[in-house]
Amino acid sequence: MDDMTHFLDIYGHLPRAGPGSTASTRRAWALMTDLPASPRVLDIGCGPGVQTVDLLQLTAGQVLALDFLPLMVERTRALAAQAGVADRLTVLQQDMHEMDFAPASFDVVWSEGAIYNLGFENGLNKVKPFVRSGGHVVVSEAVWLQPAPPALVVAHWQEYPEIDTIAHKLAVIGRLGYTLQGHFVLPESDWTTDYYDPMERLLPLKAKQWAGGPDEDKGLAVIDEARREIAMYRQNSAWYGYAFFVMKRRG
Ligand SMILES: C[S@@+](CC[C@H](N)C(=O)[O-])C[C@H]1O[C@@H](n2cnc3c(N)ncnc32)[C@H](O)[C@@H]1O
């Protein structure tokens, strides 16, 4: 097994693939205005599809969910089928860098914990033509909750240098031609209930499963990294988090 296989064997089997909750999805949805009765929604980086199903249950419209991992595509399809909403869902296995939808194809572009793969500014720029004028772009994104975080926290986030204060994110949003409809910080329970808590429960089971195998050391390295990530969050959740940004395309 390579490192990615070990990684996916953990991250791919959690209820969610990042921080979030149905309550937060619904709260962000409620900040949109002037939606058509059956909106066309694009869900970028859908992961296991929890928010995809939430979106399908919040609207009578169509959702196109996109992820580049076959595992996530399959999980999203299965979850929607289980919820009885698959008839309004299309799932696309595609790299988000290669998205090339016709202009104004969607009323809503949604992305929970995934726009960072394009970069916040680059991502908001890229999706803008896909949404009609007056349509919405809604993303959750990593933010500093206080200025001047400690060096070890900054080092933890060095792989995502676009993490920033909410004020700086709002400045980017305004500069790119969006009007902010609202924003809020996700509660800590959004990180734990369906993400870090089940991850923490899974780690000893994986350690046992991989013990004595040919790639045990690689598996243990992935487990150690996950433990470090969870501990970092538990000790430093006052410094960083995720925020939802609900935007409307101007012009
Ligand atoms: C942090 S997870 C969030 C998933 C889901 N929205 C959630 O909140 O549970 C990010 C997702 O983006 C997907 N992803 C990462 N890079 C991608 C890319 N370049 N193109 C398409 N999907 C990508 C991953 O496979 C993963 O499912």
C-alpha to C-alpha distance for 185 and 59, rounded to whole angstroms? 24
C-alpha to C-alpha distance for 163 and 160, rounded to whole angstroms? 6
C-alpha to C-alpha distance for 109 and 104, rounded to whole angstroms? 10
CA of 95, closest atom in ligand 1 = 20
Give yes or no for residue 49 CB within 6 A of ligand 1.
no
The predicted structure's pLDDT at residue 2: 65
Give yes or no for residue 67 CB within 6 A of ligand 1.
yes
The domain made up of 19-140+163-188+240-249 has a fold known as: Rossmann fold (3.40.50)
- Ligand 1 centroid–CA 45 distance in Å is 4
pLDDT digits (tens, 9 = 90+) for 216-233: 899 999 999 999 999 999
pTM: 0.97
CA of 48, closest atom in ligand 1 = 9
The ranges of the chain with pLDDT < 50 are none
The predicted structure's pLDDT at residue 205: 95
The predicted structure's pLDDT at residue 90: 98
- Ligand 1 centroid–CA 98 distance in Å is 14
The predicted structure's pLDDT at residue 214: 84
Helices (H), the chain: 3-11, 22-29, 50-58, 70-83, 120-127, 151-156, 166-175, 189-191, 197-210, 216-236
- Ligand 1 centroid–CA 115 distance in Å is 8
Nearest CA to ligand 1 atom 2: 17
